[in-house]
Amino acid sequence: MNFMTSKHWTLVGGAVACLKPAFVAGLVLHGQPVFATTLAFPGYSGYLNVPSATVLEHGKAAVQYSDQALETRATESLAGYGYYNNVSGLFGMFPNVEVGGRLTWDRTQANCYREDCGIRDLSANIKVQAPFIPQEWFTLAAGVQDLGGETDDFEALYVVAGRQFGPVTVSAGYGDPTLSDRYVDGPFGALSYRPTSWLNVMAEYDSQNVRLGLGGSTPRGLLPIGMQINGKVLAYDEGNIDNNRNFFSVGVSIPFGNETSKRHLQSVNKHATMASEPGYSPSNISSQVQPLTKPPAAVVDEALGGEAVDTPAVKDEAKERAKALGQQLIADGYDRVSVASRENVLHVQWENNIYTRDERDAIADVARRAQSAASHHRAAKLTLLNQNIPVVERTISLGGEGDRTQVRMLAADYTSGTVFHRNELQWDFQGGYGPSWKPRITLSPTVSSGIATEYGVWDASVGLSAETSVSLWPGALASVTYNAEVYATEDFEKGGVFYQDRQRTGFAEAEVQQTFKLHPQLYTSFHVGRYATDWNGVLNETLVLGAGGRHSLAYLGGSFEHADYDNVARDQMLARYSYYNPRLDTQVDIYGGQFFAEDTGVRIDSRFWFGDYALRLSYKNTDAEFVSLGWVIPLTPEKTGQFRYAQIRGDADWNYNIQTRINEDRNLTSFGGARVIESANPLRSVYLNRGRLALQ
């Protein structure tokens, strides 16, 4: 391990002397934080090589390209920094937590088994900032680079502390890499000076070299949707690893998702938004409920207060308002609409096929429309249907006479109707936007890819999938999925090493399913058909919900036989525990048992939602261990249109992930186990808003 020489200290002293006036001025200046929140060359937030003591802002994503990498696989005479390709991605997963990945390579399409392909590595990074420390004191962070990697190219642990003095930021820390004599190997430190919000002058000692550089960012607000373009240049480099090299990086940072339009779904008991405000959209109406301490019926009775006004003229007016509301909902595209006026309560029942990203937006939209049709009603009972099965109820207050400006949720509950008993009113109006058997076609790209394998930096097979579903009767659904490959790299073509994992052209799935609601919190669904292109089989999914909707337990079982080969069969037997935290908008699924390929073990999937978008982290441990980082991107507008006799829409839950194998002596190429076979229309997606219908 090499510590700083007198020459190094002289260089750092000169840099500090140049920044001294600004440093002293910073002792008395107060302003917005100016800690380095752009990416350093190694892919974490920081300076040039040195990590900062802060993390990327929560909800922000950053992508960077740089031409610097430390060659760790060369002979000693060639070791050092080189001009290699680096692509890094970083996400502010939680407040005080950033997670990212880095892809480093030299030759793009070289086969490492046949020729020297140079460095080629896919790694994961994580950094956590200590909470509860006032920023005016200092900040403290710890991180891991190349988490779980076995080739040890960039693996390191580090801890760093920082302090801001006006426009000057100072950081110091200690690192412990697996491979010695590299950056962040021992004590390190850095400082930056920001004379403006868009310019950053940096000086650092990365435990091996003294480095000076410049960074620049476009001013906040200059580019649309909060985007910023960032760049850095290493202007001076002197020390133990090479000298006088100049490297650069360029990247973009952007808020991930549309979380700001979902504030109404995050904060419990906030004041209701004025539904009559100009520019209203479903995303700015309060759809949260007060914690339910009484039965919903008691809450409604309490809200109603006085006696109903039941003169014939008032009843007729209320029914006309109910009919007008039903017609309005149908005109807007809702299906299976039923509306009735009973006493002081307006009853609305409907099925949503237009807010396919998040059904809570449909609930908010119908609540606002019910408020506008309040008449003499004091409350509205809203029942959401899916496949003509009642799922959840929301009870809203419509206010007293003269108070029609607020929509306030009173109670939320699972509907009591089941396959054994269904409460039906005498409806004043019923209808739908087209027939109930309307075919619905969902389009989405399909991708199989190999990232940073021994055969190439990026290999892929890309297809286009069309899934068509038709509702038959309550709980019954028929669907067929056709997939067509449209592009493939050489390794996915016939004779290529990844040919068996390509996107195949043909029918990927065809099935009929029947779902039964056995209890307000218990569903079971039976499926029969063709799955995973080649397998005929039967599936059962049974799901029980916790009282508040945050917890659920499920069984996913199936028996399959190969369509082309006799006596080739597989069984899947899995248990799944799921948890959803509405405050953090985070989901965790834990699978255990026997997966489709009859490998046994566990799989953990997590989703961190930012509005209708999500980041995914997964861990698999069956025949081998894998971790993956991915994202969920809706490929359809917030409100999806439809025709009267058909609907064509994009996938509201399209996802893609990058996976790497961990904890083995060699990074063998594999597309991973722990595969779960389930219907294209599973219970949570069809009925429960992908697990995001928590009552509280």
- Looking at CATH, the fold of the domain delimited by 6-256 is given as Porin (2.40.160)
> Which stretch of 182-196, 281-295, 501-515 has the lowest confidence by average pLDDT?
281-295
pLDDT category at 16 given cuts 50, 70, 90 is: very low
Q: Starting from the edge strand earliest in sequence, which strands make up the sheet with 345-351, in order?
A: 408-414, 389-397, 379-386, 345-351, 335-342, 429-431
pLDDT-above-70 percentage for the chain: 83
DSSP 520-559: TTEEEEEEEEEETTTEEEEEEEEEEE-TTSSEEEEEEEEE
C-alpha dihedral (176, 181, 184, 185), degrees to nearest 10: 40
CB 142 within 8 A of CB 128: yes
* Per-residue model confidence (pLDDT) at position 309: 55
3-state secondary structure of 10: helix
Burial zone of 291 (CB within 10 Å; 0-12 exposed, 13-18 middle, 19+ buried): exposed
Find the length of the chain.
696
Q: Mind listing the pLDDT tens digit for each residue in 44-98?
A: 999 999 999 999 999 999 999 999 988 776 555 445 788 999 999 999 988 999 9
Q: How far apart are CA 121 and CA 69, in angstroms?
A: 11
Residue type for 592, please? G
* Per-residue model confidence (pLDDT) at position 19: 40
Q: How far apart are CA 280 and CA 278, in angstroms?
A: 6
CB 38 within 8 A of CB 232: yes
pLDDT category at 269 given cuts 50, 70, 90 is: very low
Identify the H or E element spanning 531: strand 522-531
Tell me: pLDDT of 405 over 70: no
pLDDT category at 285 given cuts 50, 70, 90 is: very low
* Per-residue model confidence (pLDDT) at position 210: 94
Mean pLDDT along residues 154-174: 94
Helix segments in 97-246, DSSP class H: none
DSSP 211-249: EEEEEEEPPTTSSGGG-EEEEEEEEEEEESS-SS---EE
Structure tokens at 25: 């001025």
3-state secondary structure of 542: strand
* Per-residue model confidence (pLDDT) at position 692: 92
- The radius of gyration computed from the CA coordinates of the chain, to the nearest angstrom, equals 29
CB 375 within 8 A of CB 321: yes
Structure tokens at 667: 């990074």
Half-sphere exposure of 524 (CA within 13 A, CB side): 7
* Per-residue model confidence (pLDDT) at position 400: 52
Nearest to 146 by CA among 456, 449, 452, 498: 452
Residue type for 296, please? P
Beta-bridge partner residues of 607? 587, 616
Residue of 146 and 171 predicted with greater confidence: 171
Q: Output the pTM of the full model.
A: 0.85
Phi, psi of 684 (to 5 degrees): -65, -35
> Which stretch of 159-173, 398-412, 579-593 has the lowest confidence by average pLDDT?
398-412
Beta-bridge partner residues of 352? none
CB 615 within 8 A of CB 256: yes
Which residues, 6+ apart, have CB-to-CB distance to 500 below 8 Å?
none
Tell me: pLDDT of 535 over 50: yes
Nearest to 425 by CA among 495, 348, 362, 501: 348
Q: How far apart are CA 138 and CA 133, in angstroms?
A: 7
pLDDT category at 292 given cuts 50, 70, 90 is: very low
Structure tokens at 404: 């029609």
3-state secondary structure of 301: helix
Tell me: pLDDT of 138 over 80: yes
Question: Which residue do the tokens 């520019």 mark?
Answer: 279
3-state DSSP of 438-499: CCEEEEEEEEEEEEEECCEEEEEEEEEEEEEEEECCCCEEEEEEEEEEEEECHHHCCCCCCH
Beta-bridge partner residues of 579? 551, 588
Euclidean distance between the first and the last CA atom of the chain, given in angstroms as a whole number: 55
Mean pLDDT along residues 168-180: 93
> Which stretch of 294-298, 531-535, 648-652 has the lowest confidence by average pLDDT?
294-298
Burial zone of 400 (CB within 10 Å; 0-12 exposed, 13-18 middle, 19+ buried): exposed
3-state secondary structure of 359: helix
User: What one-character DSSP code corresponds to residue 330?
Assistant: H
* Per-residue model confidence (pLDDT) at position 30: 37
Beta-bridge partner residues of 668? none
Q: How far apart are CA 558 and CA 511, in angstroms?
A: 13
pLDDT-above-90 percentage for the chain: 62
Phi, psi of 384 (to 5 degrees): -90, 125
Residue type for 103, please? L
Q: How far apart are CA 251 and CA 434, in angstroms?
A: 48
Most confident of 240-249, 423-432, 631-640: 631-640
List, in sequence order, every beta strand (DSSP E) within 278-388: 335-342, 345-351, 379-386
Number of neighbouring beta carbons within 10 Å of residue 242: 15
CB 630 within 8 A of CB 341: no
> Which stretch of 30-44, 163-177, 278-292 has the lowest confidence by average pLDDT?
278-292
Mean pLDDT along residues 500-528: 96
The mean pLDDT of the chain is 85
Residue of 148 and 474 predicted with greater confidence: 474
Identify the H or E element spanning 369: helix 359-372
Q: Mind listing the pLDDT tens digit for each residue in 299-357?
A: 555 655 555 556 788 888 888 999 999 999 999 999 999 999 988 899 999 999 999 99
Tell me: pLDDT of 548 over 60: yes
Tell me: pLDDT of 21 over 70: no
3-state secondary structure of 269: coil
Q: How far apart are CA 242 and CA 206, in angstroms?
A: 13
User: What one-character DSSP code corresponds to residue 689?
Assistant: G
Mean pLDDT along residues 557-586: 95
Q: What are the residue boundaries of the structural domains of the chain, listed by start? A: 6-256, 260-431, 511-691
Q: In the chain, count of helices (H) and strands (E)?
A: 5, 32
Number of neighbouring beta carbons within 10 Å of residue 599: 16
Phi, psi of 368 (to 5 degrees): -65, -40
Tell me: pLDDT of 640 over 70: yes
Half-sphere exposure of 453 (CA within 13 A, CB side): 17
List, in sequence order, every beta strand (DSSP E) within 44-115: 60-71, 80-94, 97-105
